A and B are shown apart, each in its own frame.
Chain A
């Protein structure tokens, strides 16, 4: 028989305060969880939820138009005021932009995410991650301002359309009601382009994460059973990636709903929910009305999530 000379096993327990703490936490898992969760719960519960609830509470306070004073007298007047034509206009303008931006982002993001998951290998994968994240490294304001240059008359986009002989197409686009305007930088189309550009990474990454969890063998099984690529997409890939699309659209949707910079820089005049809140609490000091406006995206997202759940978006989770 072969024999091996082994070192004597070290049976002695490790010493020191850290080792003692480790043993204590091992013996008391509840204490371990309490230590683990207390800081985030303090932050999330007290700071985050606390301020949100304060905000909601203030939306029921009374604002005196004459004295400009806020008094903690409960009223539904602010919410009623949301349905005034002028305010409803702001909500609908913001909402339609958020919906269009989310749809466009999903359509553009899906192929990119799909390529990242199914085809990119090695350095390509790293390249795509950085390419998707890189715009987020630059300041948001810088990007928004640079778009004003891109979209301006005499800017790059105009030049490209001109060089391709597509000027009439651009003119026709800008002549469309709702979408168009005097120039790209003062049109809803221009604003839509900027929003879609800025929020695209927030759509790509969740879809990519969702697709990452769909094994290749599922698409192969689908094809094996006779499904055309379109059927495989419709019945297997899309339903399984749908939670990612929903997650991404919550980002693009709520970020567009809450934005107050891009609407000031690009696009036609007319307030967005964000700019409205900014104006109400900044120059007027009508905090209750601003809070009521802030509640709008919260309600819309809640409704959106319940519809998504009804559609089965989270069944595959």
Chain B
């Protein structure tokens, strides 16, 4: 497999702010690659560097082996699905989708056929004559996708494309996007701040923080073996114990993290080699299938516990202010090297 996109020590500086700060990564052909991070972490700038809307201040970006610096967007073999969809408001849906062919000089009949085929693929076959303003958010999103794919790009860039959709639609689109990517075999580079979205769709995820990459890994590795406290906290929620609080809880200096769902609220200390911590229940958040418990542990260290509901006995008895005993298995802890 060829390398689709390669960053070598790439930086992008805006007025002294290092939006992207010395990033190196390589994305393989046919991969579903996500760039995950909070806003301002440099993920969108990285995407725009690939699209050509930004130029790197230093470093080298190669797209299929060719240096991309200095190449304008319209000469790059990548296409983008924009966050706000960026559909042309004065054109019909069909003309929007056919735009990429139109500017390449493809004749009217061919581009109409191909645009209709693309609309069919995104299940909007009857909507060609409408204006984008007459479509719902989800439909616009599909038009943007069809428009970006009609040029048959080797890399498709997606900038938080599902951000404006409601939860149900977002979940449905996640499944569809993943299926589409498998079917087309195109490299997808997907920018999101939603860790759930990144985990469910990606082959690999790069976690961005303050212009740098904290970790690049598969979703499973990222979740179970976060390299840094930031990754542990940002990808899913996690209880991160620094060396000080680690000593207070388990008596060892090594920082570690533990997922809230790996902690149990127990009635009595179990006989096994489990870690046992006593604390005071601060708050309960009822979330439907699960409840989240905020517990103040030793030295006031806040510990989050997530337990499935249905164990009515526990949920009924616990009230904020009650003393609780927490327990977790030692192998569930992830030791970190900081």
Question: A222 on the interface (CB 8 Å rule)?
Answer: yes
Give the segment of B23-31, B79-87, B180-188, B230-238 that binds chain A: B79-87
How far apart are the CA atoms of A315 and B53 in the complex, in Å? 29
Residue of B nearest to A217 (CB): B86
Instruction: Determine if B88 and A236 form an interchain contact, defined as CB atoms under 8 angstroms apart.
Output: yes
B148 contact set on A, CB distance < 8 A: 224-225
Q: Which residues of B are interface residues toward A (Cβ below 8 A)?
A: 51-53, 72-74, 78-80, 82-84, 86-90, 99-100, 102-104, 147-148, 151, 320-321
Residue of B nearest to A221 (CB): B86
| Nearest Cβ on chain B to A295's Cβ, whole angstroms | 34
| Nearest Cβ on chain B to A227's Cβ, whole angstroms | 4
Which residues of A (189-235) have their CB < 8 Å from a CB of B? 215, 217-218, 220-229, 231, 235
Q: Known: A1-B320, A235-B103, A240-B90. Contact between A224 and B84, CB under 8 A?
A: no
Instruction: Determine if B73 and A224 form an interchain contact, defined as CB atoms under 8 angstroms apart.
Output: yes
Instruction: Determine if B103 and A225 form an interchain contact, defined as CB atoms under 8 angstroms apart.
Output: yes
Instruction: Determine if A224 and B103 form an interchain contact, defined as CB atoms under 8 angstroms apart.
Output: no
| Nearest Cβ on chain B to A39's Cβ, whole angstroms | 34
How far apart are the CA atoms of A315 and B133 in the complex, in Å? 12
Instruction: Determine if B100 and A218 form an interchain contact, defined as CB atoms under 8 angstroms apart.
Output: no
Instruction: Determine if B88 and A227 form an interchain contact, defined as CB atoms under 8 angstroms apart.
Output: no
Known: A217-B83, A221-B147, A231-B103. 15 other contacts (CB 8 A): A217-B84, A220-B53, A220-B73, A220-B80, A222-B103, A223-B52, A224-B51, A225-B79, A227-B103, A228-B103, A235-B88, A239-B90, A240-B89, A240-B90, A316-B89
A222 contact set on B, CB distance < 8 A: 88, 99, 103
Residue of B nearest to A236 (CB): B88
How far apart are the CA atoms of A184 and B72 in the complex, in Å? 45
Kindly identify which residue among B53, B74, B82 contacts A226, using a CB–CB cutoff of 8 Å: B74
A229 contact set on B, CB distance < 8 A: 74
Instruction: Determine if A315 and B72 form an interchain contact, defined as CB atoms under 8 angstroms apart.
Output: no
B151 contact set on A, CB distance < 8 A: 225-226
Task: Summarize B's interface: helix, strand, loop or mixed.
Answer: loop
How far apart are the CA atoms of A215 and B143 in the complex, in Å? 18
Instruction: Determine if B99 and A225 form an interchain contact, defined as CB atoms under 8 angstroms apart.
Output: yes
B88 contact set on A, CB distance < 8 A: 218, 221-222, 235-236
Kindly identify which residue among A215, A217, A223 contacts B72, using a CB–CB cutoff of 8 Å: A223
A236 contact set on B, CB distance < 8 A: 88
Q: Known: A222-B99, A225-B100, A225-B103. Contact between A217 and B82, CB under 8 A?
A: yes
Q: Known: A1-B320, A217-B84, A315-B90. Contact between A225 and B147, CB under 8 A?
A: yes
B83 contact set on A, CB distance < 8 A: 217
B90 contact set on A, CB distance < 8 A: 239-240, 312, 315-316
How far apart are the CA atoms of A221 and B100 in the complex, in Å? 10
| Nearest Cβ on chain A to B48's Cβ, whole angstroms | 9
Which of B72, B87, B99 has the largest number of chain A CB atoms within 10 A?
B99
Kindly identify which residue among B74, B84, B147 contacts A215, using a CB–CB cutoff of 8 Å: B84
How far apart are the CA atoms of A222 and B73 in the complex, in Å? 9
B321 contact set on A, CB distance < 8 A: 1
B73 contact set on A, CB distance < 8 A: 220, 223-224
Q: Known: A217-B86, A240-B89. Contact between A224 and B320, CB under 8 A?
A: no
Instruction: Determine if B86 and A218 form an interchain contact, defined as CB atoms under 8 angstroms apart.
Output: yes
Residue of B nearest to A312 (CB): B90
How far apart are the CA atoms of A236 and B103 in the complex, in Å? 11
Kindly identify which residue among B74, B89, B102 contacts A224, using a CB–CB cutoff of 8 Å: B74
A220 contact set on B, CB distance < 8 A: 51, 53, 73, 80, 82, 86
| Nearest Cβ on chain B to A197's Cβ, whole angstroms | 32
| Nearest Cβ on chain A to B318's Cβ, whole angstroms | 14
Instruction: Determine if B86 and A223 form an interchain contact, defined as CB atoms under 8 angstroms apart.
Output: no
- Chain A 292-317, CB-CB to B under 8 Å as 1, else 0, gives 00000000000000000000100110
